[in-house]
């Protein structure tokens, strides 16, 4: 079954860290560029980060650059998002997403909720 | 950075045609894809930039893109089409993806 399953979300106070994980199955993960996209409660979609198929290139949105770090382990079919110095505005559902043709995002996980609260 | 503008809401009667727009400077020169998000669910790619539909998406869905406006058209609207719809483009100068603010489609 082709799917992405996120885990690692939770409730954390501001300034703390959290690491999200995404397990990929049913497709060739090692050749697939990947993204993280987030959605704050009641808000729209916000692109967070991209990683190339081999992990050599990463890109970040302006609001997270320097605090969030994307990585992957192709031997485990896993994508990660290390979240440091969390702020209230990082509260959102975080989706693991596969890169598709011509810049599309063709496969989404179910999402994992991160709540930053004091 | 590039901004995509969508109307917050669109209403359509069952069986009629809904059109959801996505505006941006010279957006017609870019690839724009469309996503459907039902309440409590993850987004789903429903239309590629070139009019191709992922498996399972009905032919009632179509797209256009020219000048400063891209559009998603849903013909013969059904209650099951009620959802939030997002346009998305790729900033090809980087890996950045840009989303519109989303449009809530109501079928009533």
Tens of pLDDT, residue by residue over A38-53, are 999 999 999 999 999 9
How many CB pairs (< 8 A) connect A and B? 71
pLDDT at B92: 72
Distance from CA of B17 to the nearest CA of A (A): 24
pLDDT in tens, A89-111: 999 999 999 999 999 999 999 99
CB B86 to CB A44 under 8 A?
yes
Contact status, residue B100 vs residue B87, Cβ threshold 8 Å: yes
Return mean pLDDT, chain A. 97
pLDDT band of B75, cuts 50, 70, 90 = very high
Share of chain B above pLDDT 90, in %: 92
Q: Who contacts B61 (Cβ-Cβ below 8 Å, separation ≥6)?
A: B34, B46, B47, B53, B72, B73, B74, B75
Q: How confident is the model at residue B91 (pLDDT cuts 50, 70, 90)?
A: confident
Residue range B46-61: average pLDDT? 95
Chain A residue with Cα closest to B34 = A104
Contact between residue A82 and residue A72 where contact means Cβ atoms under 8 Å apart: no
State mean pLDDT over B60-89.
97
Span B39-68, average pLDDT: 96
Q: Rounded distance, CA A117 to CA A25, Å?
A: 33
Nearest CB partner across the interface for A35, out of B92, B97, B102: B97
Tell me if residue B46 falls in helix, strand or coil: strand
Comparing alpha-carbon positions, the chain B residue that sits nearest to A60 is: B96
**Model confidence pLDDT, tens digit, residues B6-23:** 999 999 999 999 999 999
* pLDDT (tens digit per residue) in A52-78: 999 999 999 999 999 999 999 999 999
The predicted structure's pLDDT at residue A10 = 97
Distances (CA, A) of A3 to A35, A52, A77, B59: 14, 19, 11, 25
Verify whether the Cβ–Cβ distance A104 to B45 is below 8 Å: yes
Confidence of residue A27 (pLDDT cuts 50, 70, 90): very high
The answer to whether residue B82 neighbours chain A at the CB level (below 8 Å) is: no
Most B-contacting residue of A95, A103, A110 (CB-CB within 10 A), to test interface: A103
**Beta carbons of B45 and A101 less than 8 Å apart:** no
Q: What is the pLDDT of residue B93?
A: 75
Give A46→chain B minimum CA distance, Å: 7
pLDDT of B94: 79
């Amino acid at each position: 079954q082709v799917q992405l399953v996120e885990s690692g979300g939770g409730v954390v106070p501001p300034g703390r860290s959290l690491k999200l994980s995404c397990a990929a199955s049913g497709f060739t993960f090692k050749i697939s560029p990947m993204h993280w996209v987030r959605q704050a409660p009641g808000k729209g979609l916000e692109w967070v980060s991209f990683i190339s198929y081999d992990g050599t290139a990463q890109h970040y949105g302006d609001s997270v650059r320097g605090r969030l770090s994307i990585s992957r382990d192709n031997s485990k079919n896993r994508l990660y998002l290390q979240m440091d110095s969390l702020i209230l505005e990082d509260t959102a559902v975080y989706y693991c997403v596969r890169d598709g043709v011509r810049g599309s995002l063709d496969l989404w996980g179910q999402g994992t909720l991160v709540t930053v609260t004091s | 950075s590039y901004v995509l503008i969508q109307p917050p809401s669109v209403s359509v009667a069952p069986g009629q045609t809904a059109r959801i727009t996505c505006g941006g400077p010279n957006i017609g020169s870019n690839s724009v894809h469309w996503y459907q998000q039902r309440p409590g669910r993850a987004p789903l790619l429903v239309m590629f930039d070139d009019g191709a539909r992922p498996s399972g998406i009905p032919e009632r869905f179509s797209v256009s893109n020219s000048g400063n406006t891209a559009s998603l058209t849903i013909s013969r609207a059904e209650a099951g089409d009620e959802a939030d719809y997002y346009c998305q483009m790729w900033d090809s100068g980087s890996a950045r993806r840009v989303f519109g603010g989303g449009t809530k489609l109501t079928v009533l």
